[in-house]
Amino acid sequence: MDLDNDEDTETTDSESESSKDVMSEPGWIHYQPPTYSRQAYPRFPYELIERIMDFLWDDPGAFAGCCLVCHAWYCATRPLFPTMTDRKFTDKTRFMQFVRLLARPRNWPYFKAQLTSLELHRQFAHSWVMHIPVCLLPQIMRLTFCDVDWATINPHPQHFLRLSHCKDSLQFLALYRCRFRSTLDLRRMINALPNLSDVTLDAITFQHPSPPRTDLAMSTVKMAHHKLRGMRIWNPCYDATNSIASGRVRLQGFLDLCSAYPAINDLSFDLWHFTSLPEIEDYLRRFRNLSSLSIHLDCADDTYPDLKSAPVDMAAGGHTDPVHPLRYSLSEIKIGFVSSRCALQLLTLVSPRTCHPRLRTLVIKLADPPCAELIAKVTNILQISGAVLEAFDWRHGST
């Protein structure tokens, strides 16, 4: 008898889990008939339940109460949950619905605990900060922009002034496929948030060339006092309207900006930003406090037809200048999705004896089988740092 009850319980649990999965899928019409404690009670039309929900769309407290009435009320409330819980906005209509929720002062206590991150897409992101109440801005910790063209449409004149209200709380800034007039605009955005701890820059393009590095360093006093610790530079993207040489000038200005923050200790970048190993060496020497280094090659972009040969050529670059290992010690080294020859050349930047006191994590992921020289190099690092090493991940492609 007990076994039968256990089986029934397991069946009920599995059915409830599957129903939750279905409920979470977009495009489904969620319906379940109302339940009553007595059959003698009059039946309440389901259409009236949905009509009641339409009047409560801007009241999170009432929504929470409606969910507890019965299954029918929960199903009627569920389609409106994304308006209150989602923080990813890909169109202006949904974002303005969210703004109307924020416009009610009675909802502020709820959103003060919930509004910690925002992800905004496309052009309406230029004025997002003007629509959110000032009292809620200090709650935002993570901000993401995707596919925003800051070059053709300037931000609202009060954009950076209001953005300063979340300067104490905002710690993570991510920009994906965004376009700026020059690196000065990107620098202005980062400097407006002095407490940022991590910045991700993916496929960033610029309309105009950047100022020389010397001018940039002289005009950025705030960078020396910035608390930025992590910088992720992914997927360089050249503007199709510009020549390759002009694109390299813009890219160099972008790299100069990223290295202008002296407190950075966690750096991650794509090999496509560089053309030679000495160029990578020169760039890494700008970071005095570096402790974590991640170098990888993004092979997901079809715009580069010679991906298979690029890693070796990019690392070597045809240069014969000697490479001097970095003097500071690293606690984390990650090399991913490159050829074994490229990984071998990148490891020449690391002195095993210098890294010995601090090296805790070593990750090497190869796109092809490892060569004998690379195996010998990694073995040497493990022999010196193995006693303090906490994580070692070694993967390579099949033959």
Domain boundaries, the chain: 29-85, 86-292+299-333
Residue 205: which region, alpha, beta or left (left: phi > 0; alpha: psi -120 to 50)? beta
- Average pLDDT for residues 225-254, to the nearest whole number? 73
Residue 370 scores a pLDDT above 90:
yes
Range in 256-260, 345-349, 394-398 the model is least confident about? 394-398
SS3 of residue 300 by DSSP = coil
Which has the higher per-residue pLDDT, 285 or 307? 285
Range in 20-34, 155-169, 380-394 the model is least confident about? 20-34
Comparing CA positions, the residue from 168, 163, 288, 280 lying closest to residue 224 is 288
Amino acid identity, position 293: L
* Summary mean pLDDT of the chain: 77
Range in 39-43, 219-223, 348-352 the model is least confident about? 219-223
Residue 103 scores a pLDDT above 90:
no
Measured CA to CA, the distance from residue 170 to residue 142 in angstroms comes to 6
- What HEC string does 179-244 produce? EECCHHHHHHHHHCCCCCCEEEEECCEECCCCCCHHHHHHCCCHHHHCCCCEEEEECCCCCCCCCH
Residue 140 scores a pLDDT above 60:
yes
How confident is the model at residue 323, as a pLDDT? 64
- Average pLDDT for residues 246-254, to the nearest whole number? 74
Report whether 364 contacts 344 (CB < 8 A).
Answer: no
Residue 120 bridge partners (DSSP): 89, 145
- Range 181-195 burial, b when 16+ CB lie within 10 A, else e: ebbbbbbebbbbbbe
The order of strands in the sheet holding 292-296 is: 88-89, 117-121, 142-146, 172-176, 198-202, 230-234, 266-270, 292-296, 332-338, 361-366, 391-395
Which residue's structure tokens are 């020396």? 224
- Average pLDDT for residues 361-382, to the nearest whole number? 93
From the CA atom positions of the chain, what is the Rg in Å?
27
pLDDT band at 109 (very low <50, low <70, confident <90, very high): confident
Residue 210 scores a pLDDT above 60:
yes
Tokens of 82: 């994304």
- Average pLDDT for residues 136-163, to the nearest whole number? 84
The reported pTM is: 0.76
pLDDT band at 363 (very low <50, low <70, confident <90, very high): very high
Residue 200 scores a pLDDT above 90:
yes
How confident is the model at residue 222, as a pLDDT? 55
Comparing CA positions, the residue from 268, 270, 210 lying closest to residue 242 is 210
SS3 of residue 248 by DSSP = helix
Backbone angles phi, psi at 351, to 5 degrees: -95, 115
Which has the higher per-residue pLDDT, 215 or 329? 329
How confident is the model at residue 280, as a pLDDT? 92
* Greatest extent of the chain over all pairs of C-alpha atoms, in Å: 91
